[in-house]
Structure 1
Amino acid sequence: MADATAALSARSKVQAFLEAARAGDLDSVKKLVAALDEEGKGAAAVAAAVRDANKRTALHFAAREGRTDVCAFLIDQLGLPVDPKDDDGETPLIHATRQGHLHTAQYLLDHGANPSVATSLGATALHHAAGIGNIELMKLLLSKGVDVESESDAGTPLVWAAGHGQQDAVKLLLQHNAKPNTETDDGITPLLSAVAAGSLPCLEVLIQAGADPNIRAGGATPLHIAADSGNMEIIKCLLKAGGDPNTCDDDGLKPIQVAALRNNREVVELLLPLTSPISGASNWNVDGIIEYTLSKDVEEKVQVKEATPLKSASLPRPQLVEVSSDAKRRSLEAKSRGDDAFRRKDYLVAVDDYTQATELDPNDATVLSNRSLCWLRAGQAERALEDARACRALRPDWAKACYREGAALRLLQRFDEAANVFYEGVQLEPENKELVSAFREAVEAGRKFHGTDKPNPTR
């Protein structure tokens, strides 16, 4: 191993060191950190300085994989700080928690990790523990005094738990005085999150705790959202809790009309006797309501020919960089490694490989598209959007680049922008059913759930 280590380039040693930490190969970690100390600065200083393209240290990689023995070596033997932040503001504790590694999280906390540190998007370790429903991890974090009402861009830990259908996590947070009606900046509450996730158990627990069944978000009530999805059990639960079937959303539609737009006869039939007659609907029966609602909606339906003009031509195109044949070859090799990691669903490793590829060949839009998808799968929508837009700048006539940008915008709940971008892709490839479907879904999502900013680009 010593001879092989000596033969590695400095960059290769860095990659091997981080990979050894990820794999839990403690012997290699020790040998590689010694090999990296070429200038005699000391193993601790060298190890602390080694970071990947996203500023993750060996401790991040070890914690993410639950390699507690490697974490112990890095902290106890080398004296590495326990709370370094990567580019997303995530600490090793957050990495360990997101993957459900209880013992690693316990070790980090016992050695001074701050459980209240939040990422750049405001999420703490408790948010992630609640999202995966790991009760033991949640109890551990709560015992350290973490604020149960800490706000991330996507809400409190209770919103995360409800949105992921984690009933036991919802119960535990409520027992620790989490507020069932706390709203995000977008007006989303835990109850709305549970309804959107289709989680009846979480919904029932929240209602019992006093959650408001008539809260509005984006102009719609929980009944509107449930009627749109057609979840009969959720609808019945909301009605029993006092959900108002006669409240109109911002488009002037009652829940029964939302169900009618979906041609969902079962939901329309359920809501019919509870809904006051609608002016203009002459036949107040299931068929009459569906026929009236659909005919009224015809003039508002999204027509491809009426949508906004194509914008891709106005995108700034970057200056292409001259790339040597050797750099292109090495870029393709890094891209191939990224493809392999993606197939293993190891998205963050794939990001590292794609980063190397794009550094070697900045002209390859495919690499940016692939990295955008990896960021999306890893839940990093802002980074996904940044790469998608860079990809479109390189290839403005590529429909897939439009799809990548629209998908990132959709994850960010910027539905109006997503609809516009998806439509630009449709103009490039009118027969692309995936793009057409994504376009209409974005419009529908904006109109039904976050419709306050006129998400329909044709209006």
Structure 2
Amino acid sequence: MDGRTQRTHGRGAGKSRLTLFPLFGAISSPQLPASDSPVSPPPNPSPLSAPTADSSVSPPQTLHRSRLLSSAAAAMASSPCDIALKAALGGQLRLLKRMAKKVDLRRAKDDKGQTALHFAAAKGCLDSCKFLVEESGLDVDSATKTDVTPMFYAAFGGNVEVMRYLLDRGADPSTADDRGSVSLHNAAEEGHCEAVRLLLLKGVHVDPMDHRGTPLHLAVAKDHVEVVKVLLEHGANPNRVANHVFSPLMMAVCGKALKCMKLLIEAGADVNVHGYSGPTPLTEAVDDGLMDFVMILLEAGADANIPNQHGAVPIELAAARGQRELVEILFPKTKPIPSQPVWSVNGIMNTARSPRIKHQDASSVEQRIADLKSRGKEAFGKEDYITAMYFYGLVMDIDPLDATMFANRSLCWLRMREGDRALEDARQCIMMRPHWSKAWYREGKALSFMKTRS
């Protein structure tokens, strides 16, 4: 599914989501290629970039939605500090020990505040970590400028032995970075089941909330079934709502994580939970045409009479999509709708196909969305990115699941040279539409920009 997924904004409305792509291709930038065409998703980023003989120190890859490690450090002169950091990143213990005789490694940091221990933990070099802590005196909880600790990196890479060592030396596994993310978020998002178990065994709170959600939200979004099992076994709340919209169940639908959805329901997830914006897991599943998801949700007690944020109930969404089979499934579960002249499967399908009714029901909402997107596009064309983002935000208020708006806003942040914010919106887009190449393209552009800036 791509960002142009069919969306229904009003009763009986069947028009597709209005999108702004492609629209930015004509705008060039010396830092960014002008092309805005979708590309295939890149492979999952490695936790760190291996150094070459003549390269500068390259710290671990930037973690999801967090200002963690820059993807490459600024060019460094070959000072003892620089060589020490490079040795830690490359797992070169002998070289690291030689540099320790020339410089106090406790003072060796890059411009992000990352120490040799951060690099060694990310690399998974246990011997280097032991040397740095026990012989060089580095603090196991030394923090970067964004409050990231070595434990954070070890958890992201699933380096359990390093994690265990740091914990044994007194590291605090609950330390949060400047955006509220903790090590458990990283381990869960990356699918490191053993790392998740270790952190929970050490008493880490199972449901910390950051700007993206809880570890359960992140594991479900990535369809990490085993991690979801572990989190639920340890009491993770399957009903917490993040960003006013996303329950873990909604994340399962958006990410097409069927097994995770079943686990959540078995754990007591409320199939009718929804945020202030209106959509329920059922309305989202119907709107996306996910037959298996709809069947399971209905069997679990999902209410087919709860409308989405535009007032349309699931059966109207299905009819607007031309999904007769879904209409037949939903019909016995749906109360008669006064605006439907003939209450039958055929009657509902005929109403949805009526051009006049479709236009009348959809025009007001669709027109407002089209107008807002047009004004956003116009503002972008004038390089007025703040105004463009304002209009995109108004569209998000109407349809908080419109992934294209997050992609567009990501590009605005990029033009404003706000790499972190561009990356955050891109990854929000990925969480909502993980199979859409444009979302991955946006992430790649943000990461590339941040690498260039570092």
TM-score (norm 1): 0.63
State the one-letter code of the partner of 2:217: V
- 1:135 corresponds to which of 153, 173, 193: 193
Name the residue aligned to 2:45.
none
Distance in 2, Cα, partners of 1:54 & 1:133: 26
State the one-letter code of the partner of 1:390: M
Distance in 2, Cα, partners of 1:91 & 1:31: 25
Q: What is the Cα deviation at residue 107 of structure 1?
A: 1.3
State the one-letter code of the partner of 1:288: N
Q: Is the CA contact (8 Å cut-off) linking 2:82 and 2:108 kept in structure 1? A: no
- 1:297 corresponds to which of 362, 377, 402: 362
Q: What is the Cα deviation at residue 224 of structure 1?
A: 1.2
The 3 A distance-change label for structure 1 pair 410 and 290 is farther
The 3 A distance-change label for structure 1 pair 71 and 245 is same
State the one-letter code of the partner of 2:379: K
What is the 5 A alignment of 1:114-153? 114-153=172-211
State the one-letter code of the partner of 1:19: K
1:214 equivalent to 2:282? Answer no
Name the residue aligned to 1:12.
78
1:241 equivalent to 2:303? Answer no
- 1:62 corresponds to which of 108, 112, 120: 120
What is the 5 A alignment of 1:3-402? 11-13=77-79, 14-35=81-102, 37=103, 43=104, 47-217=105-275, 218-282=277-341, 284-285=345-346, 287-292=349-354, 294-295=358-359, 296-298=361-363, 300-301=365-366, 302-303=369-370, 307-308=374-375, 310-312=378-380, 313=382, 315=384, 388-391=414-417
More helix by share: 1
Q: Is the CA contact (8 Å cut-off) linking 1:260 and 1:294 kept in structure 2? A: no
Q: What is the Cα deviation at residue 221 of structure 1?
A: 0.6
Q: Is the CA contact (8 Å cut-off) linking 2:322 and 2:349 kept in structure 1? A: no
Q: Is the CA contact (8 Å cut-off) linking 1:55 and 1:87 kept in structure 2? A: yes
The 3 A distance-change label for structure 1 pair 406 and 291 is farther
Percent identical residues: 34
Q: What is the Cα deviation at residue 98 of structure 1?
A: 0.9
**Cα deviations across residues 37-80 of structure 1 (Å, max 9, x unaligned)?**
3xxxxx2xxx2222223222111111112111111111111010
- Structure whose CA Rg is larger: 1
Q: What is the Cα deviation at residue 260 of structure 1?
A: 4.2
The 3 A distance-change label for structure 1 pair 385 and 308 is closer
Distance in 1, Cα, partners of 2:126 & 2:86: 15
Q: What is the Cα deviation at residue 203 of structure 1?
A: 1.4
Cα root mean square deviation, aligned: 3.8
The number of residues matched between the two structures is 331
| Greater RCO, CA 8 A, separation 6+ | 2
Q: Is the CA contact (8 Å cut-off) linking 1:282 and 1:288 kept in structure 2? A: no
The 3 A distance-change label for structure 1 pair 282 and 145 is same
Q: What is the Cα deviation at residue 179 of structure 1?
A: 2.2
Distance in 2, Cα, partners of 1:316 & 1:253: 33
**Cα deviations across residues 108-133 of structure 1 (Å, max 9, x unaligned)?**
11111111111222222122222233
Worse-superposed segment, 115-124 or 156-165: 156-165
The 3 A distance-change label for structure 1 pair 123 and 71 is same
Distance in 1, Cα, partners of 2:315 & 2:322: 10
TM-score (norm 2): 0.63
The 3 A distance-change label for structure 1 pair 34 and 315 is farther
The 3 A distance-change label for structure 1 pair 75 and 216 is same
